[in-house]
Amino acid sequence: MRKAGAKKLIYLVVGARPNFMKAAPLIHEMKKEPRFLPLLIHTGQHYDPMMSDSFFRELRLPRPWMYLGVGSGTHAEQTGRIMIEFEKICLAKRPGLVAVVGDVNSTIACALAAVKLNIPVAHVEAGLRSRDRTMPEEINRLLTDQISTYLFTTCEDADRNLVREGIPRSRIFFVGNVMIDSLQKHKVLAGKSNVLERLGLKRRNRNDRYALLTLHRPSNVDDPAVLKGILKAITDLSKKIHVVFPAHPRTIKHIRSLGLEKTVHFMKALPARGPIKNDQNLITVPPLGYLDFLRLMSRASLVLTDSGGIQEETTILGIPCLTLRDNTERPITVKEGTNILVGNDPGRIMRTASRVLRSQRFPPKRPRYWDGKAARRIVTVLKARLL
């Protein structure tokens, strides 16, 4: 029995790079409520320092109360290890709520372990659907939403998805986008980053332009033919405009396995001060920290990506975004934002990129509640329900 007046213990789970930007505003807002005791749990799903440590520093996330250190593996191995380790800390120090974000393996694993112990679960970024069940993230989203007590959505499309799937409206809360909370808070600080100078991209005039590429989805990097086609399109694009490619470790592994590293020219590290010594138009660098990447994205003429979060960030920044997928779980970025679905066909990628580069920059759009206050709305709901 919890003593009267005791703080409500909340486990906030992170595991992979996209989680950190969503968790940061949440834990900062939770700490403002004296009756909440939020503890950060890091599953270790992303364990590379550049995929994790720098984000904690730059987003001013507290050191995790618990680091599970599960590492890599198949989906089943990783999900199973997270469940086993997370259940132990739920039993040792039973929380009043487990909050999970996004759609990675850590999300479904911790939600499932918690709900089987009758601990309520809050899912932040609920209701997003790509309708593509070959994506592991889609399965994670569907299952997490079905077992969560509180479902916090980024857009009204997500509300409708949940209602169609039988979720009672009393459990659905449209609060906005916590990813945008982080962007709004750090945009000015990111403007002080010297990443453009270090990459030799400091704009001296309006014609000094570049595109930004990210690539990590299994559908794009696991199939040799698809990966070769995308890289061919990017290499062709780099003849027209500089392309900066912060390469995901998993993508690097696949490119090397195909013997394409000479085409891509990997850089092991960026210099602390620029510019880099590289005469290539396709500049491939290790993963960047949050502030460097935000600075790079905010000044790009074009972004090409298969990431979900980047579709949202470019919408707010007004940067044209070509999504290298046939579908998106964030259709609002197409309807109200700057996002264009181009798939992974090399010809279509090049045609669309060329057309976009000839046109003017999109005016920034702001979907409803993408205003930097989503975390505050979430904490308001939790205070009303938990206290």
Active site residues: 216
Q: Is 254 helix (H, G, I), strand (E, B) or coil?
A: helix
Cα–Cα distance for residue pair 72/81, rounded to 1 Å:
10
Q: What type of residue is 99?
A: A
Cα–Cα distance for residue pair 68/84, rounded to 1 Å:
10
Q: Is 316 helix (H, G, I), strand (E, B) or coil?
A: helix
Cα–Cα distance for residue pair 357/326, rounded to 1 Å:
21
DSSP 238: T
Q: Is 273 exposed, middle or buried (0-12, 13-18, 19+ CB in 10 A)?
A: exposed
Pull the structure tokens for residue 56: 């904690």
| Cα dihedral 177, 182, 188, 194 sign | negative
Q: Is 242 exposed, middle or buried (0-12, 13-18, 19+ CB in 10 A)?
A: buried
* Secondary structure string (H, E, C) spanning 67-130: ECCCCCCCHHHHHHHHHHHHHHHHHHCCCCEEEEECCCHHHHHHHHHHHCCCCCEEEEEECCCC
In sequence order, which residues have a C-beta less than 8 Å from that of residue 29 and are 6 or more positions away? 375, 376, 378, 379
Element (H, E) at 42: strand 36-42
